[in-house]
Amino acid sequence: AGSTSLRVDGQTRMDWQEKYMLIIDEISMLGARTLHAVNEQLCIFRGCTEDFGGIPVVLWLGDPHQFRPVQERSILVPSSDFPWDEGKTFRVEQRYQHD
């Protein structure tokens, strides 16, 4: 599959040049094709061939065991292959939400 041609105006390129961090939340829902598309678009937006357009910090957040991507292969190791939480469980007594 090839990448689609995308026109990037000067403002968009300038906006993305100023970014120094990319935060991807709900990482368990990110499929391989989507991650590849994000990488390609950032390279185009920033005019750079380095991974993620050369953005120096990429943070992956979320519960890796929560949800799988829809109609895509997961980029994460299946939980049964990597028992990182084996024997380490806890119960949440209170829930906090910050607005």
Indicate the pTM of the whole model.
0.62
CA distances from 87 to 35, 40, 53, 80 (A): 32, 40, 40, 14
Q: Dump pLDDT digits (tens) for 12-28.
A: 777 888 888 888 888 88
* Structural domain boundaries in the chain: 10-81
Q: Structure tokens of 47?
A: 């005019």
10-residue mean pLDDT series, the chain (99 residues): 60 81 87 90 90 86 81 68 55 69
| Matching residue, tokens 């041609």 | 5
Tokens of 96: 């906090």
For position 93, what pLDDT does the model report? Answer: 73
Q: What is the per-residue pLDDT for 66?
A: 81
